[in-house]
Amino acid sequence: MNNRIIEGRLAFTFPENCQSSKYDEWSFYRNQFNSAFGGTKAIDIVHIDNQQTWLIEVKDYRHNARTKPIDLGEEVALKVRDTLTGLIAAKCYANSADEKQFARNALRKNTLRVVLHLEQPKKHSRLFPNAIEPANVLLKLRQWLKVVDAHPVVVDQNTLRPDMNWTVEG
């Protein structure tokens, strides 16, 4: 749908030959699915490349600290669960033909990948350089998501992996 997606203060640029969409802004999610099951959560970006479907959650704590009491890994895992359920429902019931087709394309891939894009403020402590320790979040993600993606990743603008065919600025 889009090759450039703005999420907060970050701009994600995806290749032209791929499909990307802000799932949490879909008409289907907002108007049909969000109230299902007493309320659902949504991943920020769904990206489909030639090989796989990526579920990308974006957290930017450079300007505002995290205040939610829920564990970050658990929060992302719940969003992944709800997004996958929403994509299945959208494939059949979305009112928008574009959203319905995007959901079909996303679910057609044989591999799902989960990414937490985590931006943090620069800290000057050598002992505790991060407010949120990415390794701890990654451990939780692996525990929660092993049946969906046994190798989820936690990245920031400077640590995107080569198999991630997008860029981030902001």
pTM, 2 dp: 0.92
Instruction: Specify the long-range contacts of residues 28-31, CB closer than 8 Å, at least 24 apart.
Output: 28/86, 28/89, 28/90, 28/93, 28/94, 28/95, 28/96, 28/99, 28/100, 29/86, 29/90, 31/95
For the stretch 52-87, pLDDT in tens is 999 999 999 888 877 888 889 999 999 999 999 999
CA 79, 28, 50, 53: dihedral to nearest 10 degrees? 10
